[in-house]
Amino acid sequence: MDLIVNFTPTGMIPTKAMTPHVPVSVQEIVEDVHRAVEIGITMVHLHARDEATGEPTYRAEVYEKIIAAIRSFAGDLIICVSTSGRNFKDLTQRGEVLRLDGNVKPDMGSLTLSSLNFNKVASINAPDTILSLATRMKDRGIVPELEAFDAGMINYAHYLQKKRAISPPFYFNLLLGNVACAQADLLHTGIMIRDLPADSYWSLAGIGDYQLPVNSVAIAMGGGVRVGLEDNIYYDRERSKLAGNADLLRRVHLIAEANERPLMTSAKLRRLLHLEPGNGRYGRADSKPEARNPDES
């Protein structure tokens, strides 16, 4: 299987005070994605930041600017937007970006499959919120990027499938190494992969110091990788060197080359996930997306 490279340039946590390399403004995020496309990625997982404060934002108009700019140079790149509950609890806020349509319609939207604790904050994902977001994505023809931090979350994906809120083929990010969730070891990893629904594609992410070893394991095992400053801002385990997104991507490519894993193109993953071909057509190919209501923004 070719290597899925899921690029996560920004996230909600890194700030300019933590690292000057994190892209925060629309222009910075777009430039990092442009550089990543040149290095080689399959898809991008986007978080938006408020242009005045640099703080995370759910506002669709900011995502719209980022997506429009990316699609001006990478018309078939798979774009996933965040509906995270880490900073925003309100369902209307979290689902606002899913209303975007036309050339700025996201192909995918993140869907965390349960509540969880990070080091200092909680990400609240109540069952009714998860179901509502999944239903909105299904109605809009947006494929969920299923985020699982432990094996129980994968079981919840089976539940959502039984409820017909999600349908195959599936794409999972398995995130390992968070303090309150599955740890970055082979036993946790193997159990989570074993429990995935049929017709699933998956990538592994390592939190913080675990990004490099988890990416390495994923490449060796035949899975995909999630990589970028969202999950880790350092190049080395000693934390003596701050990384740029390009540094992390180039290293993944070196490991993939050593393992004889060619990059999966966006076009190929689009076919595998039943997505439209891009270049003006986005989202799930077998859906009938609804028109965006401008009064809802």
| pLDDT interval class at 88 (50, 70, 90) | confident
Range of the domain at 253: 5-296
How far CA 189 is from CA of 181, 193, 219, 256, in Å, comes to 12, 6, 13, 19
High-pLDDT (> 90) share of the chain, %: 91
List C-alpha distances in Å: 188 to 117, 182, 251: 18, 6, 24
Which amino acid appears at position 202 of this protein?
Answer: W
Omega of the bond leading into 197 within 30 degrees of 0 (cis): no
Would strands 48-49 and 200-206 be described as parallel, antiparallel, or unpaired? unpaired
Tell me the average pLDDT of the chain.
94
Give the mean model confidence (pLDDT) for residues 130-144. 97
Q: Is the pLDDT of residue 294 over 80?
A: no
Interaxial angle between packed helices 60-71 and 26-39, expressed in degrees from 0 to 180 and rounded to the nearest 10:
40
Indicate if the pLDDT at residue 296 is higher than 90. Answer: no
Predicted confidence (pLDDT) at residue 115 exceeds the cutoff of 90: yes
Structural domains in the chain (count): 1
- How would residue 287 be classed by pLDDT, with cut points 50, 70 and 90? low
* CATH number of the domain where residue 166 is located: 3.20.20.70
Q: pLDDT (tens digit, 9 = 90+) per residue, 189-203?
A: 999 999 999 999 999
Phi, then psi, of 255 in degrees rounded to 5: -65, -40
Residue pLDDT, tens place only, 193-245: 999 999 999 999 999 999 999 999 999 999 999 999 999 999 999 999 999 99
Q: What is the pLDDT of residue 29?
A: 98
